[in-house]
Structure 1
Amino acid sequence: MDDHPLFRQALAGTVQLVAPDAQVELCEDFRTLRERLESHETVSLILLDLNLPDVDGIAGLPFLKGQYPHIPVAVVSARDDLEVVQTAIACGASGFISKVSGVPSLQAALDALLRGEEWFDGLEQLPDEDPLTPMQLRILNGVQRGLMNKQIAFEAGITEATVKYHLSNIFRKMGVQTRNQLLALTR
């Protein structure tokens, strides 16, 4: 999914080259992706752009991994600095594909991702990451939506104390100390 029609179509064409039997669905925004996920039982891979018109930066990734933890999500972005990649990893990304990659690199990435492997484009050595759990991703999504701990607890079916416990672990994993820092990092 990408907000630029030309890139979206080129990406879909490359996916068809790598996996000719794959059914490719194109989504121009996050709302369309959510609707499609709700109506399809099997999805093998989501390619997520960080610049969609209706979601702020990486904020869509925690939602996807919290709601659909079994579906691998690879981030596709022109922003490919190490901090962005590390944030994507912590939020559960299975891969990261830079938009400046050539077709052979994109084909290699898609091939690896469709085999269930991880792919982090152009990064020789990634630091050991401790990714967020599905519950932590749901809590992060609640924070991103501006919910208070009590509201997040109600939605997740857990206690407010458990939300606070998870938030402290999220802060530690993401290397931040406050909600504002967390929001700045994940937008």
Structure 2
Amino acid sequence: MSRILIVDDHALVREAMAQSLARLQPGLVCVEASSADQALSCLERDAELDLAVIDLMLPDMNGFSLLAVLGKRFPAVPAVVVSAIDDEASVRRAIKAGALGYVSKSSSSQVLLQALRVVLDGGVHLPEARSVAPPLKRASMPACERYELTAAQGRVLELLAAGKSNREIADLLDVSEGTVKVHMTAIFRALGVSSRAQALVVMSRHGTRLMK
């Protein structure tokens, strides 16, 4: 069951979005915030939030600035921008600031749901016909160096990023599944995350290469 934070200063928009997101998965929980300050308070109180949906036009801080704050304080929580502003410059700026998805408010609810599915699965969603590069080039430091991982942990992380299951990783590395789980626990701790999806989000957000 996912918990999604909706950040928009219009109550009707938040309510409509929450109704649409209810179709994403059974039991999904939406937490609402009308400002950047409220959003940050929600993130501080609720460690179980899986994703933030952010409008760019907020009363106390613009969405671009909020994205930057999220990247520093809550790097494991991916963010998707949903805004009436959908020019290419704004999309580029949002992605550069750390957003992993961008959806125009003129889009259908199906487009929004698809975008959130992609981001929750560790991917990046961009508006159609955009050539905006995702934020994968902001750092060139290998994961093993940045997060002080061992070579074995780096190999496990590389296969995790390739979508392999624990069993598949164990078979490919010729180790036990228990050993893979031990490595996964160490990797999650080093990245400050608690799931595979969050690990991929952190790697994508910081643009870290897996190996030298």
Q: 1:111 matched to which residue of 2?
A: 117
- Residue aligning to 1:12: 18
User: Within 5 Å, which residues of 2 pair with 1:165-180?
Assistant: none
Which of the residues 41, 46, 59 maps onto 1:40?
A: 46
Equivalent position of 2:80 in the other structure: 74
Counterpart among 31, 41, 55 of residue 37 in structure 2: 31
Deviations 1:88-136 (CA, angstroms, capped at 9, x unpaired): 1111111001111012211211222222221112234334655546xxx
- In structure 2, which of residues 34, 52, 60 is the aligned counterpart of residue 54 of structure 1? 60
Matching residue within 88, 91, 98 for 2:94: 88
* Larger Rg computed on CA atoms: 2
Map 1:99-178 → 2, pairs under 5 A: 99-127=105-133, 132=138
- Gaps spanning 5+ residues in structure 2: where? 1-6, 140-212
**Whole-angstrom CA distance in 2 between matches of 1:46 and 1:57:** 11
Q: Tell me the percent identity.
A: 31
Deviations 1:7-53 (A, max 9, x none): 11111111111122222101111111111111111211000110111
Residues 37 and 80 of structure 1: CA distance in aligned 2, closer, same or farther (over 3 Å): same
Number of corresponding residues: 133
Distance 1:127 1:38 in 2: 30
Q: Is the 8 A contact 1:61 1:93 kept in 2?
A: yes
**2:45 and 2:99 mapped to 1: Cα distance?**
22
Distance 1:128-1:64 versus aligned 2 partners, 3 A rule: closer
Output one character per residue of 1:39-68: Cα deviation in whole Å (capped at 9) or x when no partner. 111211000110111113411110011111
Alpha carbons of structure 1 residues 54 and 93: separation in structure 2 relative to 1, 3 Å: same
3-state DSSP of counterpart to 2:31:
coil
Instruction: Give me the whole-angstrom Cα distance separating, in 2, the residues matched to 1:128 and 1:110.
Output: 16
Structure 2: distance between partners of 1:131 and 1:8: 33
Q: Aligned residue for 2:28?
A: 22
Candidates 82, 89, 98, aligned match of 2:104 = 98
Q: TM-score, normalised by structure 1?
A: 0.65
Q: Let me know the Cα RMSD of the aligned residues.
A: 1.8
